[in-house]
Amino acid sequence: MKKTSRQLADGREIVYFDLRGDTPREAVDQRPLEATVTASRIRYDPLRAEWVAVTAHRQGRTYHPPADECPLCPSRGGRHSEIPESDYDVAVFENRFPSFAGDPGPPRAEGAYGLFAQRPGAGRCEVVCFTSDHDSSFADLSEQQARLVLDAWTDRTAELSRLPGVRQVFCFENRGAEIGVTLGHPHGQIYAYPFTTPRTERMLAALAAHRERTGRNLFEDVVEAEVTAGERVVLSGEHWVAFVPHAAHWPYEVHLHPRRRVADLTELTEAERAEFPRIYLELLRRFDRLFGPDEPPTPYIAAWHQAPAGVVERAEFALHLEVFTIRRTSGKLKFLAGSESGMNVFINDVPPETAAQRLREVASE
């Protein structure tokens, strides 16, 4: 892998990851861009004990452009995009409309009893372009290409974790208009948060309680229990195992774990990295076959859960990838309605055992 860092016209960084070490990356961004201005602040919700980002500058971000105006395609034929080069393998650049950006600052408490706390929404948001081919998807990548994306995720996790004020790095992909994707080009994002996310905080609390009660690691026990039960295991390899969790929130939801517990992507061994593309590509291709050939590509979210940086509890965490779709059956979506949105109580119409069986049925020949 070759890594090359360049700057866009407005000063944002773009990083190319190439399969070949002799690939030149000298193209210059020709667009007359002004410096990016962000207004991200985070406000503390005392009742939920969590931070919320307020980002008014994101209202003007690009929304469903036609394919010939895609900002993630290479710059060709006189049309300039976010990618100055005429072709690329994997490209990562700072988001022009980031939810988090800049350096950390001290919190400021306002209002009666100091309950209205806020501070700068420090951190960084990046866009990860998986391929220059606008009409493909992650599932269409070769194993070599998928490995390059994994290497890019790993590199960015290491780099972003070192930024001042960053507490957690989240690599993810939203796929499909039903999910809310505004750009059709195959891509994902990376958020470097200035706090540990609420979801991770809840997992850390569960880990601590389980350790106190049993003396064991909860992640390791869950993976062992799922493998022993077997009925929800979807596919497995020497180093990775994928299963539908016992209490899946979503109609079709799979958790992909390395069999050896590690805190984040940077701790994976070469053997674990080498096997990942085959397992993950097969999983995504099964998702696309779930509902039959007449259905459009399955919308999904793929989310890497990594240990927060600089906290003692990091040692208990286990890296894993969660992939789920909001499509519950042909032509029907799972909406987050009253119970899910109002009370965070999920109601799943597809039994996890049924989902796992279906995901096994659509395995590649």
Tens digit of each residue's pLDDT (9 = 90 or more) over 42-67 = 999 999 999 999 987 676 566 568 87
* Average pLDDT score over residue span 61-79: 84
- 363 within 8 A of 282, measured Cβ to Cβ: yes
Which pLDDT value is given to residue 294? 86
* CA-CA-CA-CA torsion sign (287, 70, 294, 347): positive
Structure tokens belonging to residue 28: 């210059």
Residues 80/3, Cβ–Cβ less than 8 Å = no
Residue in this structure with the two tokens 């789920």, named with its chain if needed: 324
Q: What is the mean pLDDT of residues 70-80?
A: 95
Known binding residues for Zn(2+) are 70, 73, 134, 185
Whole-number pLDDT of residue 61: 60
CA distance 330 to 42: 39
CA distance 153 to 130: 11
Of 74, 61, 58, nearest to 129 by C-alpha is: 74
Give yes or no for residue 6 having a pLDDT over 70. yes
Same fold, 2-195 and 199-361: yes
Is the pLDDT score of 152 beyond 70?
A: yes
- CA dihedral 160→9→182→59, nearest 10 degrees, is 90
Residues with a catalytic annotation lie at: 187
Residue 109: pLDDT above 80?
yes
Counting residues of the chain whose pLDDT is more than 90, the rounded percentage is: 89
**Sequence spans of domains, the chain:** 2-195, 199-361
Question: Binding site, residues?
Answer: 70, 73, 134, 185
Q: Where are the beta strands (DSSP E) in the chain?
A: 2-7, 13-18, 41-45, 50-54, 90-94, 108-110, 116-120, 124-129, 168-175, 187-193, 233-236, 240-243, 252-258, 300-305, 320-325, 327-329, 332-333
Q: What is the pLDDT of residues 321-352, one digit of tens each?
A: 999 999 999 999 999 999 999 999 999 999 99
SS3 159: helix
Q: What DSSP string runs through 75-96?
A: -BTTB--SB-SS--SEEEEE-S
| pLDDT computed for residue 40 by the predictor | 87
pLDDT of residue 62: 63
Class of 2-195 in CATH: alpha beta
- Range with lowest mean pLDDT among 6-10, 59-63, 209-213: 59-63
pLDDT above 70 as % of the chain: 98
Contact 146, 139 (CB under 8 A): no
Residue type, 253: E
What local confidence, expressed as pLDDT, does residue 279 receive? 98
Report the candidate in 306, 292, 277 with the shortest Cα–Cα distance to residue 362.
Answer: 292
Side chain identity at residue 37, one-letter code? V
- Give me the pLDDT at residue 311, please: 84
Residues in the chain: 365
Residue type, 48: R
What 3-state DSSP class applies to 213? helix
What are the φ/ψ torsions at residue 272 (nearest 5 degrees)?
-70, -40
Q: How far apart are CA 163 and CA 124, in angstroms?
A: 9
Q: Within 13 Å of residue 31, how many CA atoms lie on the same side as its CB?
A: 19
What is the torsional sign of CA 315, 316, 319, 322?
Answer: negative
Going by pLDDT thresholds of 50, 70 and 90, the confidence category of residue 319 is very high
Q: Looking at residue 76, what is its pLDDT?
A: 94
pLDDT of residue 63: 59
Q: What is the CATH number of domain 199-361?
A: 3.30.428.10
Residue 231 has pLDDT above 80, yes or no: yes
Per-residue pLDDT, 27: 96
Q: Residue 148, CB half-sphere, CA atoms under 13 Å: how many? A: 25
Residue labelled with tokens 């509902």: 291
User: Backbone phi, then psi, for 362, in 5-degree steps?
Assistant: -95, 25
Cα separation of 250 and 258, whole Å? 22
What is the pTM assigned to this prediction?
A: 0.96
